[in-house]
Each structure stands twice: as C-alpha cells, then as structure tokens.
A and B are shown apart, each in its own frame.
Chain A
Amino acid sequence: MQGLRPQELAEIIAIDRKKCKGCDACKAFCPTDAVTGKYGAVHRVDGERCLFCGQCLVNCPFGAPQDTVDIVDKVIARLKDGRTTVVAAIAPAVRVAVGEEFGLEPGALVTGQLLGALQTAGFKILDTNFAADLCIMEEGSELITKIRHYALGEAAGHAPGPLPQFTSCCPAWVRYAELYCPQLLPHMSSAKSPLMMAGALAKTYGATEVWRTNPENVFVVGVMPCTAKKFEASRPEFASAAAYWHKRGSAGSYPDVDVVLTTRDLARLLKKLNINLTAAAEFSDADNPLARYSGAGTIFGNTGGVMEAALRTAHFVITGQELAALELNPVRGLKGVKAAGVTLRDAKTGREITVKVAVVHGIKENLGPIVDEVVAGRSPYHFIEVMNCPGGCVNGGGQPINPMGTSWLDKYKAILPWS
C-alpha cells in the first residue's frame, strides 16, 4: 500500500459489508474522503487515504466500520504469562470516558478506579500525563529556540525548523500532513507524542529503575481514546529504547509501544477478566514515580491543551514569570479555530514579542484555511495545535460509542444526498 512501510498496520478501520447501509453518513465525518461507495451501495475504506482516526466508526448509526486490530487476548496472555512486565500507559481522555462502558454517566472521571482496575488486572502503571509533561517541555523548548532565533534574532546552534511550529502528538494529523501537505513536515514539532515518550521511558528508565527488569520483558500497552494510535505504535521509527540499549551493547529489537488498546478495547479486556470498574479497589502505587504527574498534562486531552501547556513553559523560560490565564478566542470567519496572542518580554534583552498561537480541532471542518496560510507564507501564528477529531481526543475514534450522541448535529448539510 502506498506510503505504508512493512511494519506498519494497514487497514485498521474496515467497513463490515453486512452492516453497511450505504447511507453516506460517515462521509460527513471522514477528514480525507477515504470512504468510497455510492449512495445505497456498500461503502469501503480506501486504506491509501485513511488516517485511521475512527471518526467514521464512532459516527456510523449502523455500527458498520470496525476496528480490525483486536489485541485484547494477546494482552491478557501477556498479563498471565508470569514473565512479562505489562505496563499500561493511559491517556487523559480515557479516564473521563471508560466509565461509560460500565454504565456510568458520560464524562464521569474515574481515574482512581481505572488505575485500581488496571492494577488488579496485573498492569504496571505509567501515567501518560507524566509523559505529556515531558512532551510539553520538549515542544516548549523547541518553540523557545525558534522564537529566540526567528523573532528575537538570536543565533541558534543548529537551524531550527521554520515557524509556525505544529504540534505532532496526533497521529492522524501527522499522517494527514504526510499524505496531503508534505511541505508542512518541516514545521512539525520534532517532539514525539506523549505515548511514544512513555514507551521509550518505560523500556529504559522504567525497566531499570522502577520495575527492575530486562527492557525486553517490558510490554508497553497504550490505553488510548484513539484508533490512530494503533498505527502510530506500529511506525518503525518509534524504537528508541531498543536503539538506546543497542548503543549500550545489548541486542534485541522491539518497539517502544508494543500495542494500543482503545477505551473500548480496555472495557472489553476488563470485562473478560471479570473486573468491574465501578467496584475496583482504589489505586495505590505511591513509590512509582511514573504514575505521578503535574497538572499541566491533564489538559492534554482537551483542545488547546498541548499548546497552552507548551506556551506556559515557553512563557516561563523567556520571561521568568508564570503565564496568567490564557484566553483562547474564536478566530473571526473561521469556525472551530481558536487563537490567542501572548506578549512576552524577554528577561534577558528586555525585548517584547507577541507570540500568536492557534488551536484547530477537527481536520475535516477547520484545517484548510490555516494550512493554506502557512503554505502561502502568510500565517500570523507561531504555534499551531492540530487535533484530528472534532473537540479533540475526548471525541476520539477509540472512545465508547454513545448511541444517543448527536455530536454530528451540524453535519446534515454535508450528507444530503443531493448535495
């Protein structure tokens, strides 16, 4: 398949032809027109265009699109084999959603029970909020370098990528850029996503310092609101732990993150193990530093979260002061894009610069004009956060499917058969 390397998962999302009614609804949600099929006829996903974001899956009224990568039994086998240290790296958006699969109100925050349930199942915990903090530090300092270089005219040790800087933690967005606007790739933050950082961390520091085991015995399971993360984990460049140990003389090749469970997969796994989330014991792992985190990462799963956190870091480094409340305002004429300007006074030189940031959630609806500006070289922004899913990861393609959800209320125009 075009653009996919042998290790990479292909066709994560496929439409069950027995269930598909050909109603066209999914087309209104697909960011890349990857769903093909005439009105009435069975629809198909074109793997060469698909971002694996799962938006079609969570929005189809007939449950036809399927997540074909089912590794629940594989994870259970690892949990039970007595040899493997199975580490769960849990994304923020999972903990507000997984309760729904156990009959709780949508949006109920169940962090304590979730971690408790995972512990009962035999997982070690690595909170991706912790890794998100790392990611924010990385993206923030990268942004600082670029601002100092391009806006404040300081020399940089190496040529930093061009501004504006795009966030790179949404794998659907990264694949979108690779497939549809490769000229933007130099603008991408070079920081990898929190999950990929978590995987590398688990198989280096975590293995030797926390769980005291051979890195090859560590099996990292991402627990994500996202089907595209399954793809991200399969990308061959994410094997930095193995590369790290290679340099230190040990052989072995393994990915940083072995598999990804979506929120739905996780609920299935817990149910298979007869663990009831609502009755799970509270989590206790006080001496595991990787299970602790700052508040900054918690907003990662929300729109604007990454950007705001990184901006806070940059603000602090450049001005020496904490950023007061950041207010993102809708950009006039661009529905679904929010922006803010923050004036920073460089503590070193006293020079002032207004850093402009934007947040785009929902590639399908909102990305176009922002990308066009960047390509044309007239983007007013320094830093742009892009999340594929409308509203961000809380509405990710791996989340529980809410049968009464009308997240699609404004979609009708796009799918009217005569349009």
Chain B
Amino acid sequence: MSHDSDGPRVLKHPLSSRLFHWGLILGFLPAALTGFVLWLKPGSDGFVNLAMRIHIGAAAIFTLSAVLYTLLCLDRVVAFVRRIFSYDDRDVGWLLVGGGYPQKMFLGRKIPVPPMGKLNSGQKMMGVAMLFGGIVLTATGWILYAFIPLAPKAFIYWADQLHLVVGIVLGLSLFMHIFLGIYNWGEFKAMFGDGTQPLAEAEDHNPAWVAREIEPVQKAAGGRQLPA
C-alpha cells in the first residue's frame, strides 16, 4: 500500500494485466467495430474491404495477446477464471438491485449493495461471456478467414452464424463495458494509469476483496506491490 494525497493506494492491475488490456483495446475493440461494418456492409466496397483488413489485423492482435497472456501469465488467467466462476447469494442480491447503478444513474440515490470482491457480479458474468465468447469468436473467425473450403458448406454457414451472434452480443457488451469504465472514472484511471486505486475507492467498490484478499506490503523502499 502506498500513500499519497488520496491516502493509501492498492494495486488493482499489475503491468501484465494492463498490457493485456491494451492488447484488447488494439485487438478486440477494432475487431468489434469493424465486425459491425462487415455485418451491415454500409458504404462502398473499398470501405467494407478496409474494414475487413482492419478486422483481420485486429483479430491477429487479439489472438496474439490472448495467447501470450495465457502462456506468460497463466497464474493470472487461472485467478481470473476462478473469480468469474465463484458466485454466492451476495451475487443474487447484487443482481436484484442492478449493483445500485440504475438508482445512482437515474434517481441520483446511493443504495446499499451486497459487498463485492475484486469483480462484481456483472463483471463476473461479463467475464464468463468474454472468456467463452472470445474463444468461440477466435476459433470461428480463423475458420472463416482461412479454412472455408476445407469444411462442408453447412459447417461454414453455422460457423458464420455463431461468429455473427456472439460477435454482436460481445460487441454490444463492449460498449456497455466502456461506458461503465468511464462512468466509474476511478476504475478508468487505475487501468490506464499505473494500475493502482485509492484504498478508499476500492473499499467502496470491492469491500470483500479489500477485506479478505489484500494485505499491506511490508513497506520496503518504493514498494507498492500488493497481490491483486
């Protein structure tokens, strides 16, 4: 835990995770945007063709980031998978009130919500969708790109349908994710800054995580690192 004007800070996103997140920004985000262009095909042939080139380039970045992150930071991937699959009745309570977001956004009221860990229920569900959806999109995407004539037509047709539906769902979820990331400005600053967040903020958003998982670093010179 480090200290500055906001009080002590916690490390939420270590460098490897922040780099992977950049991989997603350069890979997943343009793939999703161009995916919508490929689906609806607005504009000239040249424009749609450009979208396809960007889609494939972004897909390569996305695939490479995911593979590297899995290979080099397997521990973090395992931790993430554990996290997104652990649910209890607090999640039910959280989901019932929508995490308090509707009340906050539309009524300007802050209501009590069940304490969350590092990821709230919504983020965990999104995480599950991204994990499976990402695998499905990557597999079907590369099949559609390079292996069309190796497979029966019906197989290709259904691979495309799957890619389309999952692509739309995840693409829309992505917009939601970006919106909430910016809405919770502190989260944005943590991910795009040095990965740390004021302890007070983490206590508000992720009380169970702060209470159970983090521990103060035995203050060494410049030591900021905390397990996340």
Q: What's the Cα separation between A296 and B56 when bound, in Å?
A: 53
Q: What's the Cα separation between A411 and B156 when bound, in Å?
A: 15
Q: In chain B, residues 131-189, which have Cβ atoms closer than 8 Å to a Cβ of chain A?
A: 144-157, 160
Decide yes or no: A40 and B150 within 8 Å by CB, A61-B157, A62-B157, A417-B145 being known contacts.
no
Whether the Cβ atoms of A404 and B148 lie closer than 8 Å is: no
Whether the Cβ atoms of A415 and B41 lie closer than 8 Å is: no
User: Nearest CB to that of B50 among chain A residues?
Assistant: A40
* B 16-53 binary contact with A (CB < 8 Å = 1; else 0): 00000000000000000000001001001110110111
* B 42-68 binary contact with A (CB < 8 Å = 1; else 0): 001110110111011000000000000
A411 contacts across to B, CB distance below 8 A: 149
Of A39, A60, A63, A412, the contact of B52 (CB 8 Å cutoff): A39
Whether the Cβ atoms of A42 and B160 lie closer than 8 Å is: no
Q: What's the Cα separation between A408 and B154 when bound, in Å?
A: 13
B145 contacts across to A, CB distance below 8 A: 417
B51 contacts across to A, CB distance below 8 A: 40
Question: Closest CB-CB distance, A407 to chain B, in whole Å?
Answer: 9
Whether the Cβ atoms of A38 and B46 lie closer than 8 Å is: yes
Number of B residues, CB within 8 Å of A: 27
Question: Closest CB-CB distance, A264 to chain B, in whole Å?
Answer: 15
A152 within 8 A of B: no
User: Nearest CB to that of A404 among chain B residues?
Assistant: B152
Q: What's the Cα separation between A411 and B154 when bound, in Å?
A: 17
Whether the Cβ atoms of B49 and A41 lie closer than 8 Å is: yes
Q: What's the Cα separation between A402 and B157 when bound, in Å?
A: 13
B144 contacts across to A, CB distance below 8 A: 23
User: Nearest CB to that of B49 among chain A residues?
Assistant: A38
Instruction: Tally inter-chain residue pairs, CB-CB below 8 A.
Output: 79
Whether the Cβ atoms of B148 and A40 lie closer than 8 Å is: no
B41 contacts across to A, CB distance below 8 A: 22, 41-42
Whether the Cβ atoms of B48 and A22 lie closer than 8 Å is: yes
Chain A interface SS verdict (over half): loop
Of A38, A405, A416, the contact of B153 (CB 8 Å cutoff): A405
Chain B interface SS verdict (over half): helix
Whether the Cβ atoms of B49 and A39 lie closer than 8 Å is: yes
Decide yes or no: A404 and B154 within 8 Å by CB, A25-B148, A62-B160, A417-B145 being known contacts.
yes
Question: Closest CB-CB distance, B212 to chain A, in whole Å?
Answer: 49
Decide yes or no: A412 and B45 within 8 Å by CB, A22-B52, A23-B144, A61-B156 being known contacts.
no
Question: Closest CB-CB distance, B75 to chain A, in whole Å?
Answer: 36
Of A21, A42, A60, A415, the contact of B45 (CB 8 Å cutoff): A42
A250 within 8 A of B: no
Most A Cβ at <10 Å: residue of B44, B51, B152:
B152
Question: Closest CB-CB distance, A252 to chain B, in whole Å?
Answer: 46
User: Nearest CB to that of B45 among chain A residues?
Assistant: A41
A63 contacts across to B, CB distance below 8 A: 157
A131 contacts across to B, CB distance below 8 A: none
A294 within 8 A of B: no
User: Nearest CB to that of B55 among chain A residues?
Assistant: A40
Whether the Cβ atoms of A403 and B49 lie closer than 8 Å is: no
Whether the Cβ atoms of B152 and A28 lie closer than 8 Å is: no
User: Nearest CB to that of B37 among chain A residues?
Assistant: A40
B153 contacts across to A, CB distance below 8 A: 59-61, 401-405
Q: What's the Cα separation between A39 and B41 when bound, in Å?
A: 12
A412 contacts across to B, CB distance below 8 A: 146-150
Please name 6 pairs of A and B residues whose Cβ atoms are closer than 8 Å in the assembled complex, sorted by A. Answer: A39-B52, A40-B38, A40-B51, A403-B157, A404-B152, A406-B152
The 8 closest A-B pairs by CB, nearest first: A40-B52, A38-B49, A403-B154, A41-B45, A61-B156, A61-B153, A411-B149, A41-B48
Q: A39-B49, A40-B51 are in contact. List 9 more A-B contacts (CB 8 A).
A: A37-B45, A41-B44, A41-B46, A42-B45, A404-B152, A406-B151, A409-B150, A415-B148, A415-B149
Residues on B facing A (Cβ under 8 Å) = 38, 41, 44-46, 48-49, 51-53, 55-56, 144-157, 160
Residues on A facing B (Cβ under 8 Å) = 21-23, 25, 28, 37-42, 59-63, 401-406, 408-409, 411-412, 415-417
